[in-house]
Amino acid sequence: MYRFLIVIEKANGNCSAYSPDLAGCAATGRTREEAERNMHGAIEMHIKGLREDNLPIPESSCFAEYVAIGF
**pLDDT tens, residue by residue, 11-66:** 889 999 999 999 999 999 999 999 999 999 999 999 999 999 999 999 999 999 99
Q: Which residues contact residue 64 at a Cβ distance below 8 angstroms, ignoring those fewer than 6 apart?
A: 5, 7
- CA torsion 37→41→44→49, rounded to 10°? -150
CA–CA dist 29, 37 (Å, integer) = 8
Task: Say if residues 6 and 17 touch (Cβ distance below 8 Å).
Answer: yes
Say if pTM beats, i.e. exceeds, 0.85.
yes
Q: Report whether pLDDT(1) > 90.
A: no
